[in-house]
């Protein structure tokens, strides 16, 4: 159980660090080129473990839609937003994913939300308002924040689709095919935006780090932790995403934390806790079912 929690924590820490890495890469290279190279490298790394497993037609279509939403759309909006806003703000906006997922589940799948989850949605909205009311800070813009929020909506749609998908596929196999399909979707866009000059060695190194940690290690750590930790508890660790992004942005990029950003961060963290903290009933069910924790 302890190692499972460490895996979940490391996954979210790497995701937070990659918000800052993505900002640096988005400033140095065209967005489609960053995503194309990232998916290409991840595909090569995952291929030896999964390329022989061919999904059926229906599952392949499902993976294609998930790749379009969870990889192409999410990362395109995120990196485009990071070119216009600070990594601090982007990390806080990403913290709204649990609240947006709750609203999506209620609207699309007619899931009933508890008062606590509606409170989480309200706090996330207040947190977004705090970001909009900021003054100065790390130089973010509302347009950039809006693009990052579009990434949040894409990721929430992807996660809801994956959650309610009837297809079943292994983590490595699913990760490989999502990266490969994303690589195919991005190829025409990337080739038209290919830079004339080669990137510097530090940018190449950062791109390799970003590709391996964001598309391979974070995913494997998260699902590895999910195998042993209760699903209701795992969501609490998403609090580490905005916290890590904020710390890394301040230390690595010299971004400044304004009062409005601090208020927004606090509201987002409480929102995540309300949206993901295990329900009392869920704990009782798990204990009765003999779930190992």
pLDDT in tens, 65-120: 989 999 999 999 999 999 999 898 898 888 888 888 888 888 887 878 788 888 88
Taking only the tens place, the pLDDT of each residue in 146-171 is: 999 999 999 888 888 776 554 567 77
pLDDT at 136 over 90: no
- Residue 60, pLDDT > 70, answer yes
In this prediction, residue 81 carries a pLDDT of 95
For residue 96, which of 69, 127, 117, 119 has the smallest C-alpha distance?
A: 127
Instruction: Report whether pLDDT(9) > 80.
Output: yes
- Sorting pLDDT into bands at 50, 70 and 90, what band is 279? low
Q: Check pLDDT > 50 for residue 268.
A: yes
For residue 164, give both structure tokens: 């309610």
Please tell me the distance from the alpha carbon of residue 92 to that of residue 129, in angstroms, as a whole number.
12
* Share above pLDDT 90 across residues of the chain, in percent, rounded to a whole number: 37
Chain segment 223-232, per-residue pLDDT in tens: 888 777 765 5
Q: Where is pLDDT greater, at 2 or 28?
A: 28
Contact 140, 23 (CB under 8 A): no
Q: Which of 129-133, 205-209, 231-235, 284-288 has the lowest mean pLDDT?
A: 284-288
pLDDT of residue 271: 84
What is the total count of domains within the chain? 1
Residue 94 belongs to domain spanning: 2-195+202-289
Residue-level pLDDT at 285: 38
Query: Distance (Å, rounded) from C-alpha 94 to C-alpha 81?
Result: 11
3-state secondary structure string, 90-158?
HHHHHCCHHHHHHHHHHHHCCCCCCHHHHHHHHHHHHHHHHHHCCCCCCCCCHHHHHHHHHHHHHHHHH
% pLDDT > 70, the chain = 87
Global confidence as pTM: 0.84
Is the pLDDT at 282 greater than 60, yes or no? no
Whether 281 has a pLDDT exceeding 80, the answer reads: no
Distances (CA, A) of 178 to 44, 64, 169: 12, 7, 12
The answer, yes or no, to whether residue 59 has pLDDT greater than 50, is: yes
Q: Are 258 and 90 in contact (CB under 8 A)?
A: no
Q: Identify the residue with better confidence: 184 or 259.
A: 184
């Amino acid at each position: 159980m302890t190692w499972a929690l460490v895996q979940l924590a490391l996954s979210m820490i790497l995701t937070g660090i990659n918000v800052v890495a993505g900002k640096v890469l988005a400033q140095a290279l065209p967005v489609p080129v960053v995503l194309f190279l990232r998916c290409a490298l991840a595909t090569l790394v995952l291929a030896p473990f999964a390329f022989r497993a061919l999904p059926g037609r229906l599952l392949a279509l499902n993976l294609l839609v998930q790749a379009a939403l969870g990889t192409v759309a999410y990362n395109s909006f995120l990196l485009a937003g990071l070119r216009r806003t600070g990594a601090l703000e982007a990390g806080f906006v990403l913290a709204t994913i649990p609240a947006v997922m709750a609203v999506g589940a209620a609207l699309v799948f007619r899931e009933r939300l508890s008062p606590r989850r509606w409170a989480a949605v309200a706090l996330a909205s207040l947190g977004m308002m705090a970001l909009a009311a900021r003054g100065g800070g790390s130089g973010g813009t509302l347009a950039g924040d809006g693009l990052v929020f579009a990434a949040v909506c894409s990721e929430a749609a992807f996660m809801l689709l994956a959650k309610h998908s009837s297809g079943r596929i292994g983590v490595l196999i699913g990760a490989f095919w999502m990266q490969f399909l994303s690589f195919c979707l991005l190829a025409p866009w990337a080739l038209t935006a290919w830079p004339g000059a080669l990137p510097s060695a530090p940018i190449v190194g950062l791109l390799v780090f970003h590709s391996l940690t964001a598309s391979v290690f974070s995913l494997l750590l998260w699902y590895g932790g999910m195998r042993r930790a209760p699903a209701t508890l795992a969501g609490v660790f998403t609090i580490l995403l905005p916290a890590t992004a904020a710390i890394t942005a301040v230390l690595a990029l010299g971004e400044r934390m304004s009062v409005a950003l601090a208020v927004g961060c606090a509201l987002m963290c409480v929102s995540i806790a309300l949206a993901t903290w295990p329900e009392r009933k869920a704990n009782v069910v798990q204990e009765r079912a003999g779930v190992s924790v």
